[in-house]
Structure 1
Amino acid sequence: MTGMTRRGLNVAWCGLALALTGIIGAPAHADTPAMHGRAAPAAIVQRGQVRFTILTAQLIRMEWSPDSRFVDDPSQIFIDRDQPVPHFTVTTSGGKLRIETASLQLSYVLGSGKFDARNLQIRSRKLAPAFDWHPGDPETGNLHGTARTMDRYSGDINIDSGKRLDLGQGLLSRDGWHVVDDSTSFLFDADLRWQWAKPRGCADCQDLYFFGYGHRYQRALGDYAAVAGRQPMPPRFAFGYWWSRYWNYSDREMRDLVGDFERYQIPLDVMVIDMDWHRTDDLSWDAKYVKRDEVGESVGWTGYTWNRSLFPEPDRFLGWLHDHKLKTTLNLHPASGIPAREESYPASAKAMGVTDGAPVPFEAADKRFVQNWFDKTLDPLARQGVDFWWLDWQQWPNSKLMPGLSNTWWLNYVFYTRMQQTSQNRALIYHRWGGLGNHRYQIGFSGDSVISWASLAYQPYFTATASNVLYGYWSHDIGGHFFAETTPESQRHIDPELYVRWMQFGAFSPILRTHSSKEAGLRKEPWRFSPEVLAALRQTVALRYQLAPYIYTASRQAYDSGVSILRPLYYAWPEQPEAYRATGEYMFGDDMLVAPVTQPLQNGVASVSIWLPPGRWYDDNRGEVIEGGRTIVRDYLLDEVPLFVRAGAAIPMNPASVHKLQDADDGRLVVRVLPGGGAKTRVYADAGDSEAYRNGDYAFTAIETTRDARQAKVTIRPREGSYAGMPDSRQIAVELASAAFPQRVTVNGVAYPRSDDGRQGSWHYDGESLTARIVLPAQQAGATLSVTIAFPDGAPRIDGLLYRMKRTAAAVAWLKEQWEPPVPLPDDVSLAGQLGRLIDYHPEQLAALIAAFDARSAKLVQEVNETRAKPEVKAEFARKIRAI
């Protein structure tokens, strides 16, 4: 086939597979990414027993084979070696082979055998830090990866053994290099219907991948994503709120639960149903009472037949959930295979040739078993309405059929690719980390962490570090899973403050999912808490849904670049020592820095020390722009989150009315523009739940902003691209945070009127949030929108006013609770606590109202001291006011 490219040859073979579909089974989904194990010939340098493949200027594959036979099959880790060939040179002199790229210089002593410190050397070129590497050199600066589970950890300490959690090696190192030894990983065969694992044929061969990048960490991640596969985007609904609790819910109870979410107007997209959906008879946590089944596994874990006492008609129950726009996942522990008690047993036993009534044995590496497992057992459940699977493998580590093949890793591959083959929806599973390469099969769950402040404090670091192996979609048991056995009975209840703080971290995490163990006191429904806590929880979930366009855009960026949504600060500031020490902070997308509160309140506030990287940052809590490159200390009330956004950034958001992320894209968008400069950004959109995003079915909308004290300008460019179901028009609102009262607003040169009812084609000013909001009518998505907001000369400074308003209102509210009737509060005190409302009534008087507020604030302590309030009340009020 002269002239046909390797990828073209794969397409030809795919066409042949389609023609044979009726004979040999279903092919991969049309949008499933192909594997290209063989590199371009021009990238390969072979000399006898060694072969070097120049994958990028920073990444070289190095193979040694005693019989000069090399591997061109995709491996578990590296699936696409057919990359654009970078420029490099090859020379031979003095018995040494030398290969030079723009970044690396490799030297190998020809004919000297296996790679070792004597015969192989790689030096950096124009990289910082410089390095001179030989096989066996210690990697002292590795920045770690992630772990399979956090089961029974409080923070990073296992409560049983006292050992610290081992996060293993990541791809990034302060040394500037890292080596992945792929010599023993399994390979994929050439079966285009469903590629399967096979062992390597050479036990002595070496297969190494040298990453040399200096501190250009993001480039290293991009190289890895290109060769090891990209982080797939979860469907849009996965970025909503997941409700999960290990509890033997019934059909009626789950309907009541959903009704409460709707009644309290708390958004929800995913309903997780733990293992009690099937029969769990004889299950015991107590080792004295554990019963073993025919294959030696604990009875009750494995099950595929609905518990009809809880769910009398599963089809109707799942249909009801879908009617309420909820996606559903069921928990699986498949170790016992298919026992005789299962409804699918007769068909499964017949298909597998089991005739004696014994269980159909489980073996994930047996393609025949797996195919029948799906055909006879799992796919019928999916047809009932199960949208994706929660794969909770906790049993033996490696395959019995293929020793050394991780069951966790392989099951993740099997479930994910099966969904790609058989479903029109975007593939999604929910599982444990299985090792390098598993980033291709999202989403992870971190397991049963202990309920403690230490666990919360550790999870930001744990989640950020996982991005060093591209595992960018960890979901945690928000609120913690269980109480340590040493926790006194009197304390075995949810700490509301801890739960709020954990939920706030969850809102700024890849996945927001609450979960807990089967214990009556572990009730995390938001409406079970005090009004103050309920309000904080509702606010947190609402913020998550508003931020969904920003998060979804960041997910696309992760797919394209290899840089996860949640990542450490040192990606962007690799030469700043503080970026490595600030383990409680992380970047959330390109523009947001988050430092979750992970300690209890003291005197009503939590004090947080935050390192701000160089540049200008908008303090979202205080409403002010501040300079970075320093460490600051800020205090936070229960409903406040340490969030800092790049000054001048434009954040794409949903309107507050969006409560379901799986709803079709209707073109509504809020662009929140922050003070302090300008920005260029793009907002991503696609169909939300199809694999077609991999092949060009998506769109971007470019947004450009500038903002200073005199004027703000927002330009929204025509949408570029297309996807199925894309709306023809878009309805956009522009919000200017911490803004003065506008003098004039124009859209495409046409003046907009002020209208406090917020109707389309007008603008208004929100006094409670100090936000100018311009509501545009729906317009064709191919049109350019130019919004200009002019501010008057001498407009009052708004920086920091939001913080002073909130804190003063909180101090006044506290004072009212301590006040003794019937004497009213002093007038100035009452009015000082209502500045936002006063501005909302008369925003055109903003300057005068701020001046009056400042005057009142200066004498609040004196006025209260002149009353008959108790001395301790006067003292505490004075402390609160002076802290503002």
Structure 2
Amino acid sequence: MAFPFLNDPLPPVPAPSASVIRGKNYRFTVLTERLVRIEYDETGAFEDRPTQITVNRNFETPRFSLTEDDRDIQIRTDYFELRYRKGPFTPYSLSVEKLGGYSNHDNIWHYGETPPTLKGTSRTLDKADGAIALEEGLCARAGFAVLDDSSSLVIREDGWVDRRREGVTDIYYFAYGHDFRACIRDFYRLTGAPPLLPRYALGNWWSRYFAYTQEGYQELMERFAEKDMPFSVAVLDMDWHVTNIEERYGRGWTGYTWNTELFPDHPALLRWLHDRHLRVTLNLHPADGIKAFEKMYRPMAEALEVDTEKEDPIPFDVSDRNFMAAYFKFLHHPLEAEGVDFWWIDWQSGNISRTEGLDPLWMLNHYHTLDIARDGKRPLIFSRYSGPGSHRYPVGFSGDTCITWDSLDFQPYFTATASNIGYGWWSHDIGGHMKGYKDNELMVRWLQYGVFSPVNRLHCSNSPFTSKEPWNYGPEAEAVMGRYLRLRHELVPYIYTMNRRCTAELEPLVQPMYYSHPEHKEAYTHPNQYWFGSELVIAPITGPALRETRRAAADVWLPEGTWTDIFTGTVYRGGKTIRVWRPLSEYPVFAKAGAILPLARREPGSNCIDNPAELELLVFPGGDGTFTLYEDSGEGAVGSRFAETEIRLTAGNTVSLSISPRGDLSVLPQSRRYCVRFRGFKDPGDLQGFRAESGGEVLDAVCRYDSAARTLEVDLPALPVSREITITAGTLRQAEALYRDAFISILEDMQISYELKDEILRILGTAESPQDLLASISAAADDPNVISVLAEMICA
């Protein structure tokens, strides 16, 4: 039985001969000046086919020198020196020195060693209640790392897989120093670029392990719409299929037949969801195979020559090519034809198959990704991590975590560190899955983190008490959660552009701070803090608020420069670590100087995340900036039909902003309206000096200054999308920290004595400088947290 998606298999990928140094049973391939492949095979039959990890070795031959005699080989570039005494690989015969090391003792790798790194990721967070051990990554303080590909399966020319010979050594040595971004870029070149996700994957996902009825699910989606809580993906857990089966068939964990008692007309449900701009994924537990009660049992059994009269079960076997072809043809393609968009591969059955070394999870991820893309669709699955190279199979399902603050506290670090092995699209159970405890504040903080993580998927167990509908957490939490769910959909233009950046420029969406500042110790001592795309730094709140301050704290290191809180407009001076405090409604998100953040203006009650007809541009002070907004159809094959809109900020004596669309504008609405928000600027006074032009025509722009948000607002009329626009804003200056205005509301909110509030207010009126104010408050207040909250505003 043929695989329709293996008609165009991966081509062979040998390296250029000029890059190869080969002997009878050893081979070294210098792929870049910082990356070398190291092989040993007693048979001398070296492998040039793709493997589970590596799919491309055709790099341009770099500069290197070779010194060789009968006994020794030395290969040297500007970044490493490999020394090999001919014979079997041992720690004594093979070593590589990272040139320009960061100490005198940790810059040499000997064969057989596993050098320490800044870690990578893990297969799953199932049952995790806080931190777990992580696998090694490719970024290291010592400047080098190794990737062992020796036990990978090879991918044959026909697209199927084969085991490798026993005893083969196939290692990649990375010597990228602290150029972590270059390291991951070349890893992607070696192993394949992450695919461009469909646009709908970047909105909010609703998921719950629960036996919904068709009517109940529709009522829930309608209630979300009434409350303007948007979602773009509907996840149906295992109760979509029949689970209550006759004892002779075993258990109902695996299933492919719709439960008609719960879903009497599932095609109508799928159409109904699609009409409301919701895509659908169904849960799979394939390990138990196909039993005789399944709707598609008979045609599949006949195709595989299984005795249908005896109702013999069809065992699940990823190592059987005929089974896998039938698995897709009979189990999945018919359901996709009815409207299932992609699959949640909830594999929980270990890494053993009938073929030694073949992990069923990797096979499922690999072939499901190929299969879902067979008709030009974008490859999208939802599954657990299956080792290096898994970034080709997004989105990642991190598993069933406990509902605790410790679980939340681990996830920002876990997600950022996964970029060290190129795995950039983790999806967590936002709010946690099971066990734990009810905590309204925890749920809000988890959701806020989810909004600023790769995929925001609310999920929980089937307990009646753990469901994540915002109205289950009280009026204050519901209001905040609704606001952030809307914000996630507003952020889609920005995140989708970063999605394209990941595929085209090989830059993960989430990056640890040491990617941009590798020589600053603070970049390593704030593991929960991370870059979210090119413009924003996130400092997640992962602990509860204090009763006295009614605010929760996060310690954030801001590099040199100016940084603006995107919610309050407060401008912070960088080059220091500060403790920031936020009420439940706010979250520590900082825009770099010159940042431009595009947000979609959306229709209330709609789930639609198409390229918007109205864009809000948040523009932040402190320097020049450029942002190129990427837009295409959002689905289908990735091709030449896309538009890029360059938005350029010039922030000299005169502040100006230009908007320049280019490319295939047919993917955009015919007209577009821009609402520009210059955040963190002083009141310019006379707004008549502002000018907006397009093609020499002065536009009828509406300008106003919002003193509470420290924002100059410029609203432009709708124009044909092809028009270039220039806004000249005259002289705009950064807003100073308006601590005097903020103190009253902060003091009002604090749960402290009235006498202390009165004393702080008196000090505020008499202090002659911020330094005097801070000193006087420190002397008056006993509580260091009260002092810290007020100090943030004074010292921003």
Normalising by structure 1, what TM-score?
0.81
Q: CA deviation at 1:36?
A: 4.0
Matching of residue 98 in structure 1 with residue 74 in structure 2: yes
Q: CA deviation at 1:798?
A: 3.3
Find 1:444's aligned residue among 385, 392, 396.
396
- Equivalent residues in 2 for 1:643-682, closer than 5 Å: 643-657=589-603, 663-666=609-612, 668-682=614-628
Q: CA deviation at 1:511?
A: 0.3
For residues 593-647 of structure 1, the C-alpha deviation after alignment (integer angstroms, 9 at most, x for no partner) is 1111111111211122222223322233542332222211121101110111112
- Equivalent residues in 2 for 1:305-384, closer than 5 Å: 305-355=257-307, 356-384=310-338
Matching of residue 81 in structure 1 with residue 57 in structure 2: yes
Please say if residues 448 and 480 of structure 1, whose CA atoms lie closer than 8 Å, have aligned partners that are also in contact: yes
Name which of structure 1's ranges 595-604 and 695-704 shifts more when overlaid on structure 2: 695-704
Please say if residues 561 and 622 of structure 2, whose CA atoms lie closer than 8 Å, have aligned partners that are also in contact: no
Q: Which residue of 1 aligns with 2:163?
A: 199
For residues 412-471 of structure 1, the C-alpha deviation after alignment (integer angstroms, 9 at most, x for no partner) is 1111111111x3321111011111111110001111111111111111011111111111
Q: Note closer, same or farther for the CA distance 1:198–1:456 as it changes in structure 2 (3 Å cut).
A: same
Q: Which residue of 1 aligns with 2:528?
A: 584
Please say if residues 641 and 667 of structure 2, whose CA atoms lie closer than 8 Å, have aligned partners that are also in contact: no
Q: Which residue of 1 aligns with 2:427?
A: 475
Please say if residues 560 and 573 of structure 2, whose CA atoms lie closer than 8 Å, have aligned partners that are also in contact: yes
Q: CA deviation at 1:697?
A: 4.1
Matched position secondary structure for 1:154: coil
Q: Note closer, same or farther for the CA distance 1:72–1:814 as it changes in structure 2 (3 Å cut).
A: closer
Q: CA deviation at 1:339?
A: 0.4
The separation in 1 between residues aligned to 2:682 and 2:790, in whole angstroms, is 26
Matched position secondary structure for 1:117: coil
Q: Which amino acid aligns with 1:79?
A: V
Matched position secondary structure for 2:420: helix
Matching of residue 716 in structure 1 with residue 659 in structure 2: yes
Q: CA deviation at 1:496?
A: 1.0
Q: Which residue of 2 aligns with 1:617?
A: 563
Matched position secondary structure for 2:268: helix
Q: CA deviation at 1:767?
A: 4.6
Name which of structure 1's ranges 174-183 and 302-311 shifts more when overlaid on structure 2: 174-183
The separation in 1 between residues aligned to 2:764 and 2:219, in whole angstroms, is 48
Q: Which residue of 2 aligns with 1:66?
A: 42
Q: Note closer, same or farther for the CA distance 1:27–1:515 as it changes in structure 2 (3 Å cut).
A: closer
Q: Which amino acid aligns with 2:339?
A: G
The separation in 2 between residues aligned to 1:264 and 1:556, in whole angstroms, is 31
Q: Note closer, same or farther for the CA distance 1:610–1:882 as it changes in structure 2 (3 Å cut).
A: closer
Q: CA deviation at 1:717?
A: 2.8
Q: CA deviation at 1:233?
A: 2.1
Q: Which residue of 2 aligns with 1:769?
A: 709
For residues 165-207 of structure 1, the C-alpha deviation after alignment (integer angstroms, 9 at most, x for no partner) is 221111111121111111111000111xxx111111x212211
Q: Which amino acid aligns with 1:514?
A: L
Q: CA deviation at 1:350?
A: 0.6
Q: CA deviation at 1:659?
A: 6.8
Q: Which amino acid aligns with 1:108?
A: Y
The separation in 1 between residues aligned to 2:740 and 2:271, in whole angstroms, is 50
The separation in 1 between residues aligned to 2:789 and 2:396, in whole angstroms, is 45
Please say if residues 470 and 478 of structure 2, whose CA atoms lie closer than 8 Å, have aligned partners that are also in contact: yes
Find 1:411's aligned residue among 338, 352, 364.
364
The separation in 1 between residues aligned to 2:593 and 2:697, in whole angstroms, is 27
For residues 111-169 of structure 1, the C-alpha deviation after alignment (integer angstroms, 9 at most, x for no partner) is x222222222323345656865343474554111111111111112xxxxxxxx22111
Matching of residue 394 in structure 1 with residue 336 in structure 2: no
Q: Which residue of 1 aligns with 2:198?
A: 235
The separation in 2 between residues aligned to 1:881 and 1:476, in whole angstroms, is 31
Matching of residue 566 in structure 1 with residue 510 in structure 2: yes
Matched position secondary structure for 1:62: strand
The separation in 1 between residues aligned to 2:170 and 2:287, in whole angstroms, is 33
Matched position secondary structure for 1:717: strand
The separation in 2 between residues aligned to 1:751 and 1:783, in whole angstroms, is 11
The separation in 2 between residues aligned to 1:619 and 1:730, in whole angstroms, is 27
Q: Which residue of 1 aligns with 2:144?
A: 177
Q: Which amino acid aligns with 2:203?
A: G
The separation in 1 between residues aligned to 2:743 and 2:27, in whole angstroms, is 66
Query: Aligned residues: percent identity?
Result: 35
Find 2:217's aligned residue among 254, 258, 272.
254
Matched position secondary structure for 1:610: strand
Matched position secondary structure for 1:224: helix
Please say if residues 648 and 677 of structure 1, whose CA atoms lie closer than 8 Å, have aligned partners that are also in contact: yes
Q: Note closer, same or farther for the CA distance 1:729–1:33 as it changes in structure 2 (3 Å cut).
A: farther
The separation in 1 between residues aligned to 2:190 and 2:454, in whole angstroms, is 24
Q: Which amino acid aligns with 1:199?
A: R
- Equivalent residues in 2 for 1:785-824, closer than 5 Å: 785-791=725-731, 798-801=735-738, 808-809=744-745
Find 1:151's aligned residue among 123, 126, 129.
126
Name which of structure 1's ranges 562-571 and 434-443 shifts more when overlaid on structure 2: 562-571
Name which of structure 1's ranges 500-509 and 273-282 shifts more when overlaid on structure 2: 273-282
The separation in 2 between residues aligned to 1:631 and 1:521, in whole angstroms, is 39
Name which of structure 1's ranges 124-133 and 768-777 shifts more when overlaid on structure 2: 124-133
Matched position secondary structure for 2:624: strand
Find 1:210's aligned residue among 165, 173, 176.
173
Find 2:681's aligned residue among 736, 739, 744.
739
Matched position secondary structure for 2:201: helix
Matching of residue 631 in structure 1 with residue 577 in structure 2: yes
The separation in 2 between residues aligned to 1:33 and 1:659, in whole angstroms, is 44
Find 1:461's aligned residue among 413, 416, 423.
413
Matched position secondary structure for 1:69: coil
Q: Which residue of 1 aligns with 2:461?
A: 517
Q: CA deviation at 1:781?
A: 4.6
The separation in 2 between residues aligned to 1:57 and 1:541, in whole angstroms, is 46
Q: Note closer, same or farther for the CA distance 1:66–1:502 as it changes in structure 2 (3 Å cut).
A: same
Q: Which residue of 2 aligns with 1:489?
A: none
Q: CA deviation at 1:266?
A: 1.1
Please say if residues 228 and 606 of structure 2, whose CA atoms lie closer than 8 Å, have aligned partners that are also in contact: no
Q: Note closer, same or farther for the CA distance 1:521–1:132 as it changes in structure 2 (3 Å cut).
A: closer
Q: Note closer, same or farther for the CA distance 1:81–1:641 as it changes in structure 2 (3 Å cut).
A: same
Q: Which amino acid aligns with 1:420?
A: A
The separation in 1 between residues aligned to 2:606 and 2:81, in whole angstroms, is 53
For residues 66-89 of structure 1, the C-alpha deviation after alignment (integer angstroms, 9 at most, x for no partner) is 121110110000011122222233
Name which of structure 1's ranges 218-227 and 132-141 shifts more when overlaid on structure 2: 132-141
| Residue-pair matches, total | 761
The separation in 2 between residues aligned to 1:430 and 1:438, in whole angstroms, is 12
Unaligned runs of 5+ in 1: 1-22, 157-164, 284-290, 485-491, 754-759, 820-828, 830-853, 860-874
Q: Which amino acid aligns with 2:240?
A: W
Matching of residue 113 in structure 1 with residue 83 in structure 2: no
Normalising by structure 2, what TM-score?
0.89
Please say if residues 625 and 676 of structure 1, whose CA atoms lie closer than 8 Å, have aligned partners that are also in contact: no
Unaligned runs of 5+ in 2: 767-782
Q: Which amino acid aligns with 1:175?
A: A
Please say if residues 225 and 561 of structure 1, whose CA atoms lie closer than 8 Å, have aligned partners that are also in contact: no
Matched position secondary structure for 2:188: helix
Q: Which amino acid aligns with 2:342?
A: F
Please say if residues 121 and 132 of structure 1, whose CA atoms lie closer than 8 Å, have aligned partners that are also in contact: no
Matched position secondary structure for 2:545: coil
Q: Which residue of 1 aligns with 2:776?
A: none
Please say if residues 343 and 382 of structure 2, whose CA atoms lie closer than 8 Å, have aligned partners that are also in contact: yes
Q: Which residue of 1 aligns with 2:135?
A: 168
The separation in 2 between residues aligned to 1:451 and 1:44, in whole angstroms, is 52
Matched position secondary structure for 2:373: helix
The separation in 2 between residues aligned to 1:700 and 1:48, in whole angstroms, is 52
Q: CA deviation at 1:90?
A: 2.8
For residues 536-555 of structure 1, the C-alpha deviation after alignment (integer angstroms, 9 at most, x for no partner) is 11121122222222211222
Q: CA deviation at 1:782?
A: 4.6
Q: Which amino acid aligns with 1:714?
A: L
The separation in 2 between residues aligned to 1:446 and 1:139, in whole angstroms, is 25
Q: Which residue of 2 aligns with 1:499?
A: 443
